[in-house]
């Protein structure tokens, strides 16, 4: 019985330690919880900003689309001017003709991926040229870059749909909300793993208490069975003694 009570008491103490861990563990959990709460606040703000932007799109969307296309038109004009200036600086160089051959045939409608592919092909061609004058190489690379900017700007100004612009403008907010959610979930997993590692928390406390109660009941059952077996042995021994006494009396008579 003493063993059973001691087992139950030990389980209660272990459960209490799981709920109220040591000072060092509490400090670590406090720091992790503070970081989690900060990330939770950041997540709520990011999700709120995204929802408000989506909600307000009906009233502000048309103006933002016009602004987006206007900025693209301005970039297109600027890039075209840079291309013309660089072409004049290169003065009809044969290297420029080879670079242009890599870029010809690509249209804004082909999309950013095809435009980027052509830009890479032009860069590879420039790297393969045997040119001692580094200023020529620099101007050729700048020309390919300006071409990519012009084509991309024209794609954004005249090809993309209003819905694609809406998604693009809200993309940053959506990405920020997604990243905030990932950081928050990662911190929660870190806290759970730490609690599991050091054996603290409500779940650990309940587990220890349940295990302790089961051990207590099993110990009681074992000792109960042991007492019952001893009692049966005592009764059996007493019955044997009585039978021997009777047999002895019968022999005397």
Is residue 35 within 8 A of residue 187, CB to CB? The reply is yes
Q: What angle in degrees, to the nearest 10, is found between the helix axes of 94-103 and 134-158?
A: 30
Distance, CA of 99 to CA of 241 (rounded, Å): 117
Q: Check: CB of residue 79 under 8 Å from CB of residue 223.
A: no
> Which pLDDT tens digit goes with each residue over 197-247?
665 544 544 455 455 555 555 665 556 666 666 666 676 666 666 566 666
Contact predicate 115/106, CB 8 Å: yes
**CA–CA separation, 76 and 155 (whole Å):** 9
Is the entire prediction scored with pTM above 0.75?
no
- List pLDDT tens digits, range 36-70: 899 999 999 999 999 998 889 989 899 999 999 99
Range in 5-14, 85-94, 110-119, 144-153 with the lowest mean pLDDT: 5-14
Token digits for 145? 């870059």
Q: Which residues fall within 8 angstroms of residue 4, CB to CB, at 6 or more apart?
A: 216, 219, 220, 223
Instruction: Give the DSSP letter of residue 21.
Output: -
- pLDDT for the residue 128: 92
Tokens of 93: 């160089």
Give the residue-averaged pLDDT of 20-33: 69
């Amino acid at each position: 019985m003493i063993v059973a009570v001691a087992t139950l008491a030990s389980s209660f103490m272990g459960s209490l330690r799981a709920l109220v861990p040591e000072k060092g563990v509490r400090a670590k959990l406090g720091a992790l919880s503070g970081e989690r709460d900060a990330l939770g606040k950041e997540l709520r703000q990011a999700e709120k900003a995204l929802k408000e932007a989506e909600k307000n799109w009906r009233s502000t969307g048309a103006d933002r689309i016009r602004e987006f296309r206007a900025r693209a038109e301005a970039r297109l004009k600027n890039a075209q001017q840079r291309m013309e200036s660089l072409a004049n600086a290169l003065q009809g160089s044969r290297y420029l003709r080879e670079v242009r051959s890599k870029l010809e045939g690509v249209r804004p409608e082909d999309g950013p991926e095809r435009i980027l592919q052509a830009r890479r092909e032009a860069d590879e061609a420039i790297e393969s040229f045997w040119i001692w004058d580094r200023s020529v190489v620099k101007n050729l690379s700048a020309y390919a870059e300006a071409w990519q900017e012009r084509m991309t700007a024209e794609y954004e100004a005249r090809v993309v749909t209003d819905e694609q612009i809406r998604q693009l403008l809200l993309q940053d907010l959506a990405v920020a909300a997604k990243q905030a959610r990932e950081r928050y979930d990662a911190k929660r997993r870190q806290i759970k793993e730490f609690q599991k590692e050091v054996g603290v928390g409500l779940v650990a406390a309940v587990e220890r208490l349940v295990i302790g109660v089961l051990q207590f009941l099993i110990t009681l059952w074992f000792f109960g069975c042991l007492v019952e077996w001893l009692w049966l042995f005592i009764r059996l021994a007493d019955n044997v003694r009585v039978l021997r006494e009777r047999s002895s009396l019968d022999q005397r008579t």
